[in-house]
Amino acid sequence: LQSRLVLFTRVGRLSKASDSFGLLSLCHRMSQNEERAAGEGTPLLQTNQDASKEEEEEEGKKKSDWKAILITLGLMGGVIATYTLIYVFRLGGILSELAGFFGFISCPLGVYQIFILAMERSLRNAINLARLDANRLAQKMVELQASVDDLEKGAKRVESAETELISIAASENMTVDQLMKLVKENRVILDELKEQVHLKAVEKVVSTLLTSDEDLDM
């Protein structure tokens, strides 16, 4: 009987770890597969070289946009000046034709410039949103890596617990199935003991309250 009690005590320390061994082993294998898959992918965050290239491209686009804006403003200014001369000096002929020509050229350029600016704004917003998503994903990868490290540590602890369980079974001339049966029995006993302790604590609290209730108003 004493040997059986000692065995129950040793098994009780390992019951929780042994029951969760299968789950932690599966999580460990899944985390290793995810880590290998993540290592094969490309980095989410852009490098400094890529950022400098994008900045240079944006600067070039801004310069070309300013040139187009200046050309459009010059054409529109020519149209305004020509129509002003026609109105003030009551001129016609070639000046009216020039005004119409300048207006015919400047209007499509103005519409095109507005369209380009709208497209660049939307594209810039999309790029910024993509960068934010990439940063969030990188943060999640860091958190996942920390979780993987914790799972690896837990798996190592469970492996050591399994080794100890096997050694206990070998020292007691028992099979692993018999040992697991004892683990389950030990868990049932521990649950019953916890319930008894809980009831005892409730009884203690109630008796204390009744004892301290001197005026009997409870």
Residue 199 pLDDT = 84
* Angle 70-79-86 from CA coordinates, rounded to 5°: 155
Domains: count for the chain: 1
With 80 as the cut, is the pLDDT of residue 19 above it? no
User: Are 140 and 44 spatial neighbours (Cβ–Cβ below 8 Å)?
Assistant: no
With 60 as the cut, is the pLDDT of residue 36 above it? no
Mean pLDDT of the chain: 68
Instruction: Give the tens place of pLDDT for each residue, 181-212.
Output: 777 888 888 888 888 888 888 888 877 777 77
pLDDT band for position 6 (cuts 50, 70, 90)? very low
Q: Is residue 128 part of a domain?
A: yes
Residue 100 pLDDT = 64
Residues 6+ apart with CB under 8 A from 30: none
Q: Is residue 49 part of a domain?
A: no
- Report pTM: 0.34
211: buried, middle or exposed (CB in 10 Å: 19+, 13-18, 0-12)? exposed
Q: Which two tokens stand for residue 135?
A: 């940063």
Average pLDDT rounded to a whole number, residues 29-48: 49
Q: Is residue 51 part of a domain?
A: no
pLDDT band for position 87 (cuts 50, 70, 90)? low
Q: Is residue 164 part of a domain?
A: yes
Q: Is residue 218 part of a domain?
A: no
Domain that holds residue 105: 2-41+59-212
Q: Is residue 171 part of a domain?
A: yes
In this structure, of 1-5, 85-89, 134-138, the range with the lowest mean pLDDT score is: 1-5
pLDDT over 70, % of the chain? 45
Q: Is residue 176 part of a domain?
A: yes
CA gap 124, 55 in Å, rounded: 12
Q: Is residue 130 part of a domain?
A: yes
